[in-house]
Amino acid sequence: ELKVEQNPLFLSMQEGKNYTIYCNYSTTSDRLYWYRQDPGKSLESLFVLLSNGAVKQEGRLMASLDTKARLSTLHITAAVHDLSATYFCAESNYQLIWGAGTKLIIKP
Amino acid sequence: GAVVSQHPSRVICKSGTSVKIECRSLDFQATTMFWYRQFPKQSLMLMATSNEGSKATYEQGVEKDKFLINHASLTLSTLTVTSAHPEDSSFYICSARDSARGPRNQPQHFGDGTRLSIL
């Protein structure tokens, strides 16, 4: 069964702290996506990771992909309140197989 | 960047009404579009894959007679919720692939979603 597992599902943290969201997937796909969703809104693409060892950074967010471990991580550095949202990872096998999402709350 | 326009953004209507949602790719062609449903605090659930010029492929458990999909052109797919009932209330999101890119490197671009409320 194709499966994507994200953890944690809920994360509350203080501004200025670092944390990592983990995404494990079950297939041999080498394409992994990270999306952000604000309440009541659609999805915003953050990163597309296309190969083993890929690392991408945008501002305080950095995503990486280890295809051998079937693991992707989204690392948040020195979190700020504006990063509060739900983050989804999805792996691609023609269709997107979605993780359950991580609701991130960053307190001032 | 690539834009997908979805409308309406919000629909409130009475039970028994049929509701049509449009999904347009504005600056690219999309041979494939996807329709998702999202319940509160849950992930996206793929309902169907819409293929231009052919029948949609529905996921298991999704009633094709209830959720009619038409993908008549390379830039437009529609989802019609027929005879909607309160349990059909949800957030519906479409996405589209850019056909100009190869199949191994096609990103999905998402519409803004449609919040459907059936009274």
Place of tokens 């459907």: B116
> Per DSSP, what are the bridge partners of residue B45?
B37
How confident is the model over A9-20, as a mean pLDDT? 95
Burial pattern A19-31, b for ≥16 Cβ within 10 A else e, equals eebebbbeeebeb
Q: In which band, very low, low, confident or very high, does the pLDDT at A107 lie, cut at 50, 70 and 90? A: very high
Q: Which of A41, A48, A101 sits opposite B107 (nearest CB)?
A: A48
CB B34 to CB A101 under 8 A? Answer: no
pLDDT of residue B105: 59
Q: What is the pLDDT averaged over residues B59-86?
A: 94
What chain A residue is nearest to B116 in terms of C-alpha separation? A40
Q: Over the stretch B3-56, which tens digit does the pLDDT of each residue have? A: 899 999 999 999 999 999 999 999 888 888 999 999 988 999 999 999 888 899
Residues of chain B positioned with their CB less than 8 A from the CB of A32? none
pLDDT-derived band at A61 (thresholds 50, 70, 90) equals: very high
The first and second tokens of residue A63, run together, are 């995503």
Q: How far is CA B86 from CA A39, B14, B16, B83, in A?
A: 21, 9, 9, 10
Mutate to test the interface with B, among A2, A42, A87 (most CBs of B within 10 A): A42
Query: Distance, in angstroms, between A99 CA and closest chain B CA?
Result: 7
Please compute the mean of the pLDDT values over residues A63-73 and round it to a whole number: 93
Residue from B34, B39, B43, B97 whose CB has the most chain A CBs within 10 Å, to mutate: B43
Average pLDDT of the residues in A10-25:
95
Q: Measured between alpha carbons, how far is B52 from B97 in angstroms, rounded to an integer?
A: 12
Instruction: Tell me what pLDDT residue B104 has.
Output: 54
Bond prior to B107 in cis (omega within 30° of 0)? no
For residues B92 and B108, give the distance between their C-alpha atoms in angstroms, rounded to a whole number: 16
Q: Can you tell me the mean pLDDT for A17-44?
A: 90
pLDDT band at B108; cut points 50, 70, 90: confident
What's the pLDDT at B103? 57
The DSSP output letter for B105 is: G
Q: Which residues pair with B35 in a beta bridge?
A: B48, B94
| Residue in B46, B43, B42 with CA at minimum distance from that of residue B56 | B46
| A25 interfaces chain B, CB cutoff of 8 Å | no
- What does DSSP say about strands A10-14 and A102-107: parallel, antiparallel, or unpaired? parallel
Cβ contacts (< 8 Å) between B34 and chain A: which residues?
Answer: 95-96
